[in-house]
Structure formats: C-alpha cells, structure tokens
C-alpha cells in the first residue's frame, strides 16, 4: 500500500514532505513488532498513526485499545493497566482484568505516556522486556503478548534528565521514533484541511457553503495553530454554524481566533527593500540607534567645549547635532495596523538635547543585535532551566524559531 492509499484509507489530508515522511515510517515499521514512540504537539493526529501501524501489522485482526495515561488517576492506573485481585484495595469487590490482559495478541496505544507514575513505569518496562506482569494484590506472574505504541506531546528526554521518566524505559519505547509535524510546519496543507472540514460541517448542519477571500486564506496560513488540526477543525465547525456572512474575510476570521492566543498572528513591517522584520527587531534597532546617537552627540559636544566657546563651530555642527538626536515616538497597537506599523520621528529641541546629554552615561557594551539576541535566549533558557518550549513563550516566538536561533547562534 503506497502513501496515497494510506491517506485515503485513514482520511489524512495534506502533501507536506514532513507528513509523507511520517506516514512512510509508520508503513515500514508496521509489519515488525518493535515499540514505537510517537511524538508531536497536542492535536496533531498522533492517534491516527497508531491506527495505521496496527492496521498494517500482523496483529490487525487482534484487539486494539487506546489508553490516555494522563486521564487516569495515579492511584488506579496500575489496576487499569495490569488488573487487580478481589480485596486488593478498598472498593475492589471482585477481580478485574487489566488492559494488558484484555489486549493479549493485539496492540495497546499509550497516549501521554510521559504522565505515567515512576512505579508504573517500572511495571511497563518489565512487560516490554519479558512480557510478564503481576496483578495488583497478587503474587502470580502472568504473561502477555502485546505490542506497545506510545505517544507524547512532551520532550520525554527532558523528563529523563530531570528524573521524572526512567531512562531505560525511554530507550525501550523509543526503538523507532516517529515525529508528527505541527500544523504550522505544514502551511500548504492548512487551507486544504479547512476546506475539507468546512464542507463536512456545512453538509452536516445543512448550512450554506463558506468561501474565503485571499486575505482570510493568508491569515489561516500565518496563524501558528497551537491546537493544530484539532483547533482548525473546531474553528471550521464554529464558522459553519455561526457565521452569517458566508464570504469570509480576514476581519471576520479574527472573530473565531481565540484572544488568549495573543501574539500567535505575526505582525510585520515592510521596508523599501521588501524585507520583513518583526516588531521586536524594530524596537531593538530603534533603541540601539538612539543609544549610539547619544554617545556620538556627547563626543561631538565635548570636542566643541574643549575647543572653547566657538559660536561658529556650534553653528556649523548644528545640522549634525540635529541629525544625530531625534525624539522618537514608538508605535502602539491601537487596533489600526497602519498606525501600528509607523514610527513617528519629531525634530528635537536642541536645548533639550544638551540637557539630556549631561545626564547620559557612556556604558561600554556591545551594540550588536546578534549579541543581544543571544543574551536574551540564554537568559530565557536559564530562567526556565533549559525548557525550550517555556523559553519560546517567554521570548514571544515559536518553539521552532527558537530551535533555529539556537542552531544559528551556536548556543549550547
């Protein structure tokens, strides 16, 4: 079965190379019996890949069960997975089979596997290595023949370093790693998915079809989709039910993007060279230019004073002083993008410039944007103890951008 046949069978939409690569890995590993660790952000479709692996394996006629490890209380998860004997704990009125016993000969999908308690991790490791387990409250060893597919939306190796996840279990589960790309890494697939979802929901609710103009389509692609495919599907359903104007514009689409997403929509300012800069880059550049100009102004005035009270010198340098110092009004986001993308520059009062010069202190430090960017990234990583996802949120950038910056700046 080729990749397109798999997409048709399991309802997968998209042509991203990253998506095709993930499907190809799932197809190749399916006939084997080795463990697979599927990683990817919440809502990216990890469970679909567990079904692909099971359906294309020799166990396809055996049972399949998906278990959300994060949804089961710590006190009962051992009983859920491995079963218990009657009277083994309060409320155990009768013996109960666990999932590993029920799914014998099939496949078990452990979603959010990083949420497993450490004690349960030890039990799971024994099952993976020997196929043996013991019910809660029993001393009898039982055997099972189950293939384990695990999934996580966390950096499990980070939990290994912090002692929250067993290293031996990590390597046992991660025999074949399978990375599911986030929706923002499949930008060309976003509109295809939206069209599929909106067509399904307008048919389901018998509502008129929805059309997106070019601006709305571009907004779909620019948004970072922290909830991935699940979030896109939810928004498509909302639009199918609630939207009165069936010709959707970018402004209309904004009504369905949650406010808590904050800076998930990129804000760009274009210069005459058609190069895009982020608001943060513009702000840094303005501040560093101001500091540089103040230092140059201080040196210029010091030279004039050192040469005596020379009115002609002051007059000849007036134009240079005015050029060096400007009163800059930084932009504010008042809802008008055209205002927000404008820097207002006022000609200064020369006397004010001299007064401020007296208070200026020359600080010997790097004015390089690259150095400042590197320092900010190091501070954010140090603050969050190396957790890149939290550091990216602190910096106001995507995790993918942070990874790229770390690589470009050669940071450890």
Q: How far apart are the first and last CA of the chain?
A: 42
Task: With a cut of 50, say whether residue 261 has pLDDT above it.
Answer: no
Mean pLDDT for the chain overall: 81
Model pLDDT for residues 171-204, shown as the tens digit of each residue? 999 999 999 999 999 999 999 999 999 999 999 9
> Pick from 266, 301, 336: which residue ends a domain?
266
Q: Give yes or no for a contact between 20 and 4, defined as CB atoms under 8 angstroms apart.
A: no
pLDDT tier at 308, thresholds 50, 70, 90: low
Model pLDDT for residues 1-46, shown as the tens digit of each residue? 889 999 999 999 999 999 999 999 999 999 999 999 999 999 999 9
> Pick from 122, 153, 181: which residue ends a domain?
181
**Full DSSP string of 144-165:** ---EEEEEESS-HHHHHHTTSS
Are 380 and 321 members of one domain? no
Please count the structural domains in the chain. 4
Q: How far is CA 323 from CA 271, 293, 297, 326, in A?
A: 21, 9, 10, 7
Task: Tell me if 271 is assigned to some domain.
Answer: no
Task: Tell me if 313 is assigned to some domain.
Answer: yes
Are 86 and 13 members of one domain? yes
**Full DSSP string of 178-208:** EEPPPGGG-HHHHHHHHHHHHHHHHHHTT--
pLDDT tier at 54, thresholds 50, 70, 90: very high
Are 188 and 146 members of one domain? no
Are 257 and 377 members of one domain? no
Task: Tell me if 364 is assigned to some domain.
Answer: no
Model pLDDT for residues 116-141, shown as the tens digit of each residue? 999 999 999 999 999 999 999 998 99
> Pick from 120, 151, 181: which residue ends a domain?
181
Are 244 and 95 members of one domain? no
Are 109 and 88 members of one domain? yes
What are 247's strand-pairing partners? 211
SS3 67: strand
Task: Tell me if 284 is assigned to some domain.
Answer: yes
Are 129 and 79 members of one domain? yes
Are 242 and 310 members of one domain? no
pLDDT value for 320:
52
Task: Provide the whole-model pTM.
Answer: 0.62
CA-nearest of 165, 137, 154, 149 to 76 is 137
Domain hosting residue 389, numbered range: 369-408
pLDDT tier at 410, thresholds 50, 70, 90: confident
Q: Averaged over 388-392, what is the pLDDT?
A: 83
Using CB atoms within 10 Å of the CB of residue 368, give its burial: 0 to 12 exposed, 13 to 18 middle, 19+ buried: exposed
What CATH number is associated with residue 398? 1.10.10
Are 95 and 48 members of one domain? yes
Task: Tell me if 331 is assigned to some domain.
Answer: yes
pLDDT tier at 301, thresholds 50, 70, 90: confident
Task: With a cut of 60, say whether residue 373 has pLDDT above it.
Answer: yes
Model pLDDT for residues 320-359, shown as the tens digit of each residue? 555 544 444 444 444 444 444 444 444 445 454 445 444 4
What CATH number is associated with residue 205? 1.10.8.60
pLDDT tier at 75, thresholds 50, 70, 90: confident
Are 191 and 247 members of one domain? yes
pLDDT tier at 246, thresholds 50, 70, 90: confident
pLDDT tier at 377, thresholds 50, 70, 90: confident
Q: How far is CA 357 from CA 162, 324, 354, 361, 365, in A?
A: 51, 12, 5, 8, 19
pLDDT value for 328:
46
Are 150 and 253 members of one domain? no
pLDDT value for 195:
94
Are 109 and 250 members of one domain? no
């Amino acid at each position: 079965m080729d990749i397109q046949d798999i997409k048709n069978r399991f309802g997968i939409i998209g042509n991203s190379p990253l998506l095709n690569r993930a499907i190809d890995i799932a197809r190749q590993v399916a006939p084997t019996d080795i463990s697979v660790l599927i990683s990817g952000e919440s809502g990216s479709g990890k469970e679909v890949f567990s079904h692909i692996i099971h359906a294309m394996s020799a166990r396809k006629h055996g049972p399949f069960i998906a278990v959300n490890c994060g949804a089961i209380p710590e006190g009962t998860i051992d009983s859920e997975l491995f079963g218990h004997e009657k009277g083994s704990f309060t409320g155990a009125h009768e013996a109960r089979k666990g999932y590993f016993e029920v799914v014998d000969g099939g496949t078990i999908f452990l979603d959010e596997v990083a949420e497993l308690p450490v004690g349960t991790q030890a039990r799971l490791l024994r099952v993976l290595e020997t196929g043996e387990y013991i019910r809660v409250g029993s001393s009898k060893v039982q055997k099972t023949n189950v293939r384990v597919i695990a999934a996580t939306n966390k950096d499990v190796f980070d939990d290994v370093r912090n002692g929250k996840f067993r290293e031996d279990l990590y390597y046992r589960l991660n025999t074949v790693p399978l990375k599911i790309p986030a929706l923002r890494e499949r930008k060309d697939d976003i509109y295809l998915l939206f069209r599929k979802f909106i067509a399904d929901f307008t048919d389901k609710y018998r509502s008129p079809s929805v059309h997106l103009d070019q601006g709305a389509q571009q907004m779909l692609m620019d948004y970072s989709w922290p909830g991935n495919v699940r979030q896109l599907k939810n928004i498509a359903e909302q639009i199918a039910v609630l939207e009165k104007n069936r010709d959707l514009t970018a402004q209309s689409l904004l009504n369905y993007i949650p406010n808590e997403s904050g800076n998930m929509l990129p804000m760009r300012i274009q210069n005459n060279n058609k190069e895009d800069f982020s608001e943060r880059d513009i702000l840094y550049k303005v501040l560093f230019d101001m500091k540089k100009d103040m230092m140059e102004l201080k040196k210029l005035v010091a030279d004039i004073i050192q040469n005596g009270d020379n009115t002609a010198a002051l007059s000849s340098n007036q134009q240079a002083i005015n050029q060096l110092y400007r009163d800059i009004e930084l932009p504010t986001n008042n809802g008008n993008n055209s205002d927000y993308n404008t820097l207002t520059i006022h000609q200064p009062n020369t006397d004010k410039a001299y007064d401020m010069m007296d208070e200026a202190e020359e600080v010997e430090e790097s004015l390089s944007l690259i150095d400042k960017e590197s320092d900010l990234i190091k501070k954010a990583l140090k603050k969050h103890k190396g957790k890149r996802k939290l550091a990216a949120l602190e910096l106001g950038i995507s995790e993918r951008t942070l990874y790229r910056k770390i690589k470009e700046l050669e940071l450890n």
